[in-house]
Amino acid sequence: MKNVSFAVLTLAAFIISGFRASAQNEELAVDTLTVENAIDIALEHQPLLQASEAGVASAEAGKRLALSSYWPQIGFSASASHTEGTFVFNPSIAARNQIYSTYTTGLSASQLIYDFGKTSSRVGATTDLVTASKQDYRLTHEIVATSVEVAFYAAMQAGELTQVNKETMKQAEDHLRMARAFYNAGTRPLLDVTRTEVDLANANVGLITARNAERVARLQLENAMGVHLRMGYTLKGSVNTSPLTVSLDSARTVAMENRPDILSARAHYEALASFASAAWGLNLPTLAGTGTWNWSGFEAKLYGRWTAGLTFSLPIFQGFGINAQVDQADAAAAAQLAQVKLTVQNAMLDVEQNYLAVGEAAERIAATSKLVEQADESLRLAEKQYAAGVGTAIDVTDAQVVRSNAHIIAIQALYDHTIALTRLRQAMGISENLNSQ
């Protein structure tokens, strides 16, 4: 009952947390769901991807903003004023009242000629930020796809465990009928009937728990997809039992070249290094061209004039503000360089752990195949001996428990292998078959 209560609480938690946002959306109706369909649905509906796409758009806008410094800066201005009052020009001229209006309009333009690399450093930094944001999007894409794939196989595993518990339930029902028949015939004691009734009750509890775990697993799958599916759909897929031929060293090398989090961390470092260069460039001069064309005058009559020139600006002393900006930018770049090293370390750990998990699951698959055969044969012999009046109900119960556990272990090994392969692909930053590496 403790397991049942825990499963019910888990189910409630996923309903509350997983569908707070998606509950407002219309349910998606599917009859058969494959892992490919599930991933496609997730890529269309997952809010995480939408947020990541916005990050890419923001980075690209930042790059366009940095590039705008290369283009001419053109502006337009216009003003009008009206004046009335008494004016005194000097003591020898009597004061007099005047009323007049002044109008001014004009165009101004400036063009950066050379700033000793400050703008080019900022453009390079924003270009690296675009690269980083695209790798972040790719990482989000892989996280979503992997999460859906793992949840899909977990739901399939839960369904197969439910099937095992159904078979156990049916066997317990058959044993109970057999025990009652023997008891009514006077060949077996009432204790056998009572024991098989207990076995049936335990099998029923196990089936309830398995069914609830399957519902929770499907909710987790739907939450990973970002949509709510109508009940009644079936899962269609197969586990991957192919042996792993890629070496651990090759897996590490592929991860170093392909993992989006590593590539993103490196791009962020390059961007911060460029920003540091741009910050130091504030010590250097800037050369720009300027020009204006204005029309101004009194009342409605305007007179035009134009100006053109060059400006040369050089910061001499800014209260040590430039030095502070340079130190701040250098510190940010140094911190990001440390983050790159940490990302690489975590990536290598991720690859090694999942690589070992694949090998361990493969060994369990080989070991459990024989275990299942032996457990099935043990139950068959126990049932045969009990029917012949040689064995006991305890022997049948023990053999039934062993068989059920053996099938559960075998199913877990199969799906652990498939899920470990999925996680290893993500750890290496690839989506294709591992054995092609």
Distance CA 229, CA 31 (A): 10
Which domain range does residue 184 map to?
A: 2-436
H or E stretch including 357? helix 321-387
Distance CA 71, CA 69 (A): 5
Distance CA 106, CA 376 (A): 95
Helices (H) and strands (E) in the chain, counts: 9, 6
Range with the poorest average pLDDT among 10-19, 36-45, 115-124: 10-19
* pLDDT at residue 109 tops 80: yes
Paired sense of beta strands 32-33 and 234-235, if any = parallel
Give how many domains the chain has, as a whole number.
1
* pLDDT at residue 271 tops 90: yes
The pLDDT tens digits for 213-266 are 999 999 999 999 988 888 889 999 888 888 788 899 999 999 999 999 999 999
CA-closest candidate to residue 213, choices 266, 221, 108, 353: 221
* pLDDT at residue 437 tops 70: no
The CATH number of residue 363's host domain is: 1.20.1600.10
Question: Residue range 67-79: average pLDDT?
Answer: 92
Distance CA 264, CA 270 (A): 10
246 CA to centre of own chain: 26
Higher pLDDT, 437 or 54: 54
pLDDT of residue 389: 78
> Beta partners for 307?
292
Specify the 3-state DSSP secondary structure of 314.
coil
Query: In the predicted model, what is the mean pLDDT of the chain?
Result: 87
